[in-house]
Amino acid sequence: MKRDSRLSGVLHVLLHMAEHDGLVTSEVLARAMGTNPVVVRRVMAGLREQGYVRSEKGHGGGWTLARDLAEITLRDIYDALGRPTLLAMGNRTEAPGCLVEQAVNAALDTAFREAEALLLSRLGGVTLAALSADFHARLTARPGLSRTEIDHAG
C-alpha cells in the first residue's frame, strides 16, 4: 500500500513559508518540495479554506501564513487535509462469518482505535512553532547554509 505523505509535505511547505518574509509563490514552494506548482496550489487551497494560509493572485502574488505558528497544531493541518487514513493496516474482512476472525477483528479494532487516538493526541500537542524551533536548532548546528541551500535542501 502506498503511503499518504500529504501531511508531511504540507508541514514542510508551511515551514518553508514561515522562513520567507512576505508572499511565497507556488513555484518556489514546489521547488522546495520537489513537486509541481499545481500540486502545491491544490493543497494550499484547502488550507486557505480553513484559514491557515492566505493567497494573493497576479504579479507579485503568492501564499502567506494567515495565523501564528503557535496557533496551528499538526492535528489542525491533518484535519484540514480531510483526515487521511492514519494506519495502513486493517481487517481482512469487515463482517466475517467465522468466529475466529470475529475474535481477531475485535482485538485488532481495539488496538487500531487506541493507536489512532494516541497519534491524534500527539499531533494535537505539537505546533508549527515547535517544528520551526526544531528547524532553527538544526540550522544553528549547521552554520554557513545559504537561503538557497535551505530552500533547495527540501
pLDDT in tens, 61-94: 899 999 999 999 999 999 999 998 888 888 888 8
Give which of 142, 20, 119 is closest to 73, Cα–Cα: 119
Euclidean distance between CA atoms 30 and 44, whole angstroms: 11
- pLDDT bin (cut points 50, 70, 90) of residue 4 is confident
Question: For residue 86, which of 15, 7, 13 has the smallest C-alpha distance?
Answer: 7
CA gap 26, 36 in Å, rounded: 8
The predicted pLDDT at position 34 comes to 83
Q: Which residue has the cell 515547535?
A: 130
Helix (H) or strand (E) holding 97: none
> Letter for the amino acid at 128?
L
In which band, very low, low, confident or very high, does the pLDDT at 50 lie, cut at 50, 70 and 90? very high
What is the pLDDT, as a whole number, of residue 95? 86
- Give the pLDDT score at 146: 61
Q: What per-residue string of b and e applies to 90-120 under the rule 16 or more CB within 10 Å gives b?
A: eeeeeeeeeeeeeeebeeeeeebeeeeeeeb
Q: What is the CA radius of gyration of the chain?
A: 19
| Percent of the chain's residues with pLDDT above 70 | 93
pLDDT confidence band for 59 (50 / 70 / 90): confident
